[in-house]
Each structure stands twice: as C-alpha cells, then as structure tokens.
C-alpha cells in the first residue's frame, strides 16, 4: 500500500514540469550531476526522492527541501512551482516516516505538506495528502479523522475529474471498509479502484486493489478465489519491485495456506514475509509477521514459540502506537492464556482487545475477541458474561458472513467483469460467464426483434383500422351528400313541375279568352269567297 501511495506523489509534478517519467534512480542521479541550474536540480531531487529505495528517501528529500528554501529566499523564480516541489518532497519524507512507523513525525510532515498545497491551490497535492493523512490516522485509531480526510479527497477528485486521485481514494476506502467488516462497500470501492487503475495503467494501484479484493474473498471463506487474486497481486508487485507490497502478499498467502492446513507452505511464506519486512525496516509489518507466526506456532502446538512471537509483536506495536495491531495482539495473547488455562491473564488481555476494537469499530476484531472472552468467562464460571460475549460474537459474525453479503460480493464481481470491455487480468471463469452473457444478449436481441415485429404488426393493423375509419367516414359523408342532392333534385323537379303547371294553366286561361285560330281562319275564307 505505501509504495502505491508513494508512486502517486509526483504524478502532477512529472506531467506538468518534467518529461522523464519511468527513468530509473541511476539515470536520475546522472541527470542530477549534469544539471546546471538550481531549478533543474530541485526537480530531479524530488523525482529521486520518489524513485529511490527507502533508505535513500531522507537523503534526497532533505536536499530538495533545503534547495527549495534557498530558491524561495532568492525570490527569482516562480514561487508556486518551488513550493509545489517543496511540498512534494515533504510528502515523500512523511511517507518514509509512515512506513517506518514514526507516526508522530509522519502526521506533522503530512500536515505541513497539506498547508503548502492549500496555499498554492494545488488540487492534486491536496487530494494526495488527504489520502495519506487518512491512512496514517487509521493506523493511529482515529477513525473519524480518517473518513473526514477520505471524504474530502473523494469530493475533490470528483469535482476536478482527477482519475488518478479518484482511484487512489476508492482503494483506500476499500481498505477501511475491509477492516470494518462492511464487505459490500469494500468490494464496491475495490472494483471501482481496480477498473480505473486498469484504464490508466497504474501497476502499483492495481497490485494493491487485487490484494484488497483477494482479502474480501478470504473473509468470505472463498479460499480458492482469495489465492487466485493474491497470486495476481504478487505477480504485479514483483514485476514493479514493490517490496512492501510483495511482503504483504506473502503474508496473505501464508494465511490462505494455513487455513487449508498446508502448514509447511504457510510457514514458508510467513518467514519470507518476515525476512522482506526486516530488510526494508517496516516495523509495523515486522510486528504483524511476529503476530502471525505466534498464531501459527500456537496452532501446531509449539506454545513456547507462540508466546515468544506474540510478545515481540506487542512490544513493537506499543512502541509505534499501532492500535489496530494491538487490538489483534491482545486478542491473540488472550487466546494463548486461555489455552494454557491462565484465565485471569486471558481476561485482562481480552478486555483490552475488546476496548480497542470497539473504539476502532473493526467488526472482525470484535468478533474474534468476543468469542475468546465467551470461552474465558465460561471457564471462570461467569455464565452471564459468557452468554453476553457469545451473543456479541454471533452478532458480529453474522454481519460479516451472511447470505446477503455473499450475494452482494458475487454481484459486484459480475458487474466488474462485464462493465469493462476487457481486463488484462480477468477472473478465471470470465470466459464461461462471457459465453453466458452472449447467450443472454442473443436472447434479448431475439426478444427485441419479436417485440419490434409485434409492434410493426400492431402498427399496421392500427393504420388499416384508421384508414377503414376514414373510408367509412368518407362513405357516410358521401351518403349524406347523396341524400341532400336527391332531395335537392326532387325539390328542383317539384319546382319545375309547378312552373310547367303554371304555364299550362296560364295557357288554358289564354286560350279561353282569345278566339280560336280555327274560327278565325274559317271566317277569313268565308269573306274571301263572298
């Protein structure tokens, strides 16, 4: 996780100010020796503080900070750019102290860096530092502060559309929810982070996200899937020489093999993890390895070694104020004393563990401790408290492992597989699911086609009905018009008949009043003859 965070520290710096992303530490050293200006030296020193090994970080960050202060006093260069370099160097120094479990120094330096980034209004720097402070506050057991800083980082990442910082924030949320036993929320953020990391090619983030997803499967007792994702994470982290990440995966694989009763293989990975963590001087990680080895030896019946490793873990965790680790160590020591029938000591350690676990809100720790305390009180004859602790254990266990949660895990996994076009690191069953997905798609296409055909048919019928209605309406109008015309025709004929009758009547009257034509002609002939 820490190497992943460190790898992101200089994204904005590299993109905006320098074009040698991907250079090895040796190449940067050569560039530093050839640099002629102080501003160029400052840029290279900051890059070196990111690319170098852990034991070299302090050397390069201190040089960068001193040079930045010198350039600020000269007041000849862009003040904001110099301040961004200085803040980034301080952030890398804080990362070193975080890794080495020097928490107080780490918090102080992170906040100093945050103040500078806020001063120059560097959104990338603010988001990055908020994430880093959140993870350090988590280690110190300050959960409210952890989520305050994560919420701020998420809000700024979304508003600024900063994909790199968004994926880092999702990944850190996932790590928090894993510890709190909120599996659905953890898996949702883990897959969001992984999808973004796949798109942008962030190998550190990808390795961390794969490890988180594997941890979720481990919590759900799906050991096969857990091993698969842990090995994917190991492959990625080994390629990029992420020593902290590699040691984490060694530890997690050991747990998987121990759960499968492959004790030789489990011990091999526990020891490889311890060796790696001692090499990089990661005290928090060393304490975790001691704790896990103590549990392993307790399981195989070597009580002497078990207590020895448990005690070593507690000593380191008390020194570095690792509350999460102490809650776990106290619970394991309670378990040890329960097994050796020292019930008074067992109760003391159990109550210390329960108090810390409840303060942190870590459901997994509460579950384990309540289970141990239930057995302790049963052996002490305090059945009321034994029953209370058993109820608490059942409540925590059911919240971690239930049908609905398993269903949500599966749903999230399927969504991840098929919302992406193609992940280079997909699940083993992806091809089978892809075939099923294609079959479903074909069925849906066929149904859609049939639906379209039905709609076309219904549309055609509707058009026929509408046309028929129009034709019928036209027919009715024509019929009405025909009736009107017939009536008009009858009326005209009637009028015509009346006119003719009038003419005939007038003619009859005329004929009656005038001498007939025959009479006139006869009298004319008679007069001619005479």
Q: How confident is the model at residue 499 (pLDDT cuts 50, 70, 90)?
A: low
Same domain as 146, residue 18: yes
pLDDT band at 424 (very low <50, low <70, confident <90, very high): very low
Looking at the structure of the chain, the number of domains it has is 3
pLDDT of amino acid 168? 82
Residue after which a domain boundary falls, among 128, 143, 161: 161
Alpha-carbon distance of 422 to 199, in angstroms, equals: 10
Task: Taking residues 400-411, report their average pLDDT.
Answer: 53
- So what's the pLDDT on residue 6? 35
Q: Is the pLDDT of residue 262 over 90?
A: yes
Mean pLDDT computed over 257-267: 94
Q: 237 near 245, Cβ under 8 Å?
A: yes
Distance between CA atoms of 95 and 52, rounded to whole angstroms?
13
Domain-embedded: residue 68 = yes
1 and 134 inside one domain? yes
Is the pLDDT assigned to residue 308 strictly greater than 70?
yes
Q: Which of 161, 178, 198 is the last residue of a domain?
A: 161
**Whether residue 363 sits in one domain with residue 506:** no
Instruction: Determine, yes or no, domain membership for 232.
Output: no
- Average pLDDT value for the chain: 78
CA dihedral 367, 368, 369, 372 (to 10 degrees): 120
* 220 or 75, greater pLDDT: 75
Same-domain check for residues 377 and 463: no
pLDDT tier for residue 182 given thresholds of 50, 70 and 90: confident
Reduced DSSP (H G I as helix, E B as strand, rest coil) percent helix, strand, coil of the chain, to 5: 85, 0, 15
Residue 263 lies in a domain: no
Residue 436 pLDDT exceeds 60: no
- Same domain for 392 and 507, yes or no, is no
- Give the per-residue pLDDT at 345: 94
More confident residue, 118 or 201: 118
Same domain assignment for residues 157 and 47: yes
> Looking only at Cα atoms, what is the longest distance across the chain?
186
pLDDT band at 530, cuts 50/70/90?
A: low
Instruction: Examine residue 138 and state whether it is found in any structural domain, yes or no.
Output: yes
pTM, full prediction:
0.49
Asked if the model's pLDDT at residue 95 lies above 80, the reply is yes
Among 400, 419, 441, the domain-final residue is: 400
**463 in the same domain as 373:** no
Highest mean pLDDT among 160-164, 454-458, 482-486: 160-164
The answer, yes or no, to whether residue 11 has pLDDT greater than 50, is no
Q: Is the pLDDT of residue 478 over 50?
A: yes
Q: What is the pLDDT of residues 330-361, one digit of tens each?
A: 999 999 999 999 999 999 999 999 999 888 87
**Does residue 61 surpass a pLDDT of 80?**
yes
Instruction: Please report the pLDDT score of residue 192 as a whole number.
Output: 85
Task: Kindly state whether residues 19 and 116 are assigned to the same domain.
Answer: yes
Residue 433 has pLDDT above 60, yes or no: no
pLDDT over 90 (residue 294): yes
User: For position 353, which CATH number holds?
Assistant: 1.25.40.10
| Residue 234: burial class (beta carbons within 10 Å; 0-12, 13-18, 19+) | buried
Dist CA 171 CA 247 (whole Å) = 19
Residue 189 lies in a domain: no
Q: Is the pLDDT of residue 420 over 70?
A: no
Q: Which residue has the higher pLDDT, 21 or 294?
A: 294
**Quick one: 395 and 475 in the same domain?**
no
Q: Read off the pLDDT band of 100 (50, 70, 90).
A: confident
**Between 398 and 322, residue with greater pLDDT:** 322
What counts of helices (H) and strands (E) characterise the chain?
24, 0
Task: Name, in order, each residue with C-beta under 8 angstroms of 207's C-beta and a sequence gap of 6 or more.
Answer: 4, 233, 236, 237, 240, 242, 245
Residue 342's pLDDT is 95
Residue 464 has pLDDT above 90, yes or no: no
- Predicted confidence (pLDDT) at residue 453 exceeds the cutoff of 70: no
- Show the tokens assigned to 341: 């029938």
The rounded distance, in Å, linking the Cα atoms of 247 and 55 is 17
The domain of 386 spans 331-400
Structure confidence at residue 216 (pLDDT): 78
CB 222 within 8 A of CB 244: no
The average pLDDT across 283-309 equals 93
**CB neighbours of residue 439 within 10 Å:** 10
pLDDT attached to residue 336:
93
pLDDT > 90 fraction of the chain, expressed in percent and rounded: 36
| Domain annotation covers residue 238 | no
Q: In terms of domains, do 20 and 111 share one?
A: yes
Same domain? 65 vs 154: yes
Domain identity same for 395 and 465: no
- Please state, in angstroms and rounded to a whole number, the distance separating the CA atoms of residues 485 and 487: 5
Query: Residue 502: which pLDDT band, with cuts at 50, 70 and 90?
Result: low
Instruction: Tell which wins on pLDDT, 141 or 345.
Output: 345
Residue at 81 is within a domain = yes
Establish if 67 belongs to a structural domain.
yes
């Amino acid at each position: 996780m820490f190497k992943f965070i460190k790898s992101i520290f200089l994204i904005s710096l590299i993109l905006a100010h320098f074009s040698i992303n991907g250079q090895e530490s040796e190449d940067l050293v050569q560039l530093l020796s050839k640099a002629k200006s102080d501003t160029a030296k400052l840029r290279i020193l900051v890059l070196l503080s990111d690319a170098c090994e852990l034991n070299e970080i302090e050397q390069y960050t201190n040089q960068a900070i001193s040079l930045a202060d010198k350039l600020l006093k000269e007041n000849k260069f862009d003040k904001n750019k110099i301040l961004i370099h200085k803040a980034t160097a301080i952030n890398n120094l804080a990362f070193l102290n975080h890794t080495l479990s020097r928490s107080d120094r780490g918090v102080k330096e992170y906040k100093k860096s945050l103040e500078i980034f806020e001063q120059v209004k560097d959104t990338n720097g603010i988001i990055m530092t908020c994430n880093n402070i959140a993870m350090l506050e988590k280690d110190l057991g300050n959960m409210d502060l952890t989520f305050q800083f994560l919420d701020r980082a998420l809000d700024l990442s979304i508003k600024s559309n900063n994909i790199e910082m968004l994926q880092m924030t999702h990944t850190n949320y996932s790590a928090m929810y894993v510890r709190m036993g909120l599996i659905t929320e953890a898996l949702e953020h883990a897959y969001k982070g992984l999808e973004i990391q796949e798109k942008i090619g962030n190998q550190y983030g990808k390795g961390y996200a794969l490890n988180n997803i594997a941890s979720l499967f481990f919590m759900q007792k799906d050991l096969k899937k857990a091993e698969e994702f842990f090995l994917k994470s190991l492959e990625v982290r080994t390629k990029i020489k992420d020593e902290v990440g590699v040691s984490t995966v060694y530890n997690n694989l050991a747990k998987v093999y121990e759960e499968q009763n492959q004790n030789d293989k489990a011990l091999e990975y526990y020891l490889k993890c311890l060796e790696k963590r001692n090499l990089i001087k990661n005290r928090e990680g060393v304490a975790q390895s001691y704790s896990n080895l103590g549990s392993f030896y307790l399981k195989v019946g070597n009580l002497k070694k078990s207590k020895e490793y448990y005690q070593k873990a507690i000593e380191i965790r008390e020194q570095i104020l690792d509350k999460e680790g102490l809650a776990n160590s106290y619970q394991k020591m309670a378990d040890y004393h329960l097994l050796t029938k020292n019930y008074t000591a067992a109760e003391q350690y159990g109550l210390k563990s329960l108090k810390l676990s409840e303060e942190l809100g870590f459901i997994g720790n509460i579950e384990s401790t309540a289970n141990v305390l239930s057995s302790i009180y049963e052996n002490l004859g305090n059945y009321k408290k034994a029953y209370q602790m058993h109820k608490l254990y059942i409540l925590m266990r059911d919240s971690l492992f239930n049908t609905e949660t398993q269903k949500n895990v599966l749903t999230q996994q399927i969504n991840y597989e098929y919302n992406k076009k193609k992940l280079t690191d997909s699940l083993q069953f992806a091809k089978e699911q892809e075939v099923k997905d294609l079959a479903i798609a074909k069925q849906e296409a066929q149904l859609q086609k049939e639906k379209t055909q039905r709609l076309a048919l219904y549309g055609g019928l509707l058009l026929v009905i509408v046309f028929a209605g129009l034709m019928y309406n036209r027919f009715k109008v024509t019929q009405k018009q025909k009736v009107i015309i017939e009536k008009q025709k009858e009326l005209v004929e009637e009028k015509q008949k009346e006119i003719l009758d009038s003419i005939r009547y007038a003619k009859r009257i005329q004929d009656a009043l005038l001498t007939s034509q025959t009479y006139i002609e006869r009298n004319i002939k008679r007069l001619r003859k005479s």
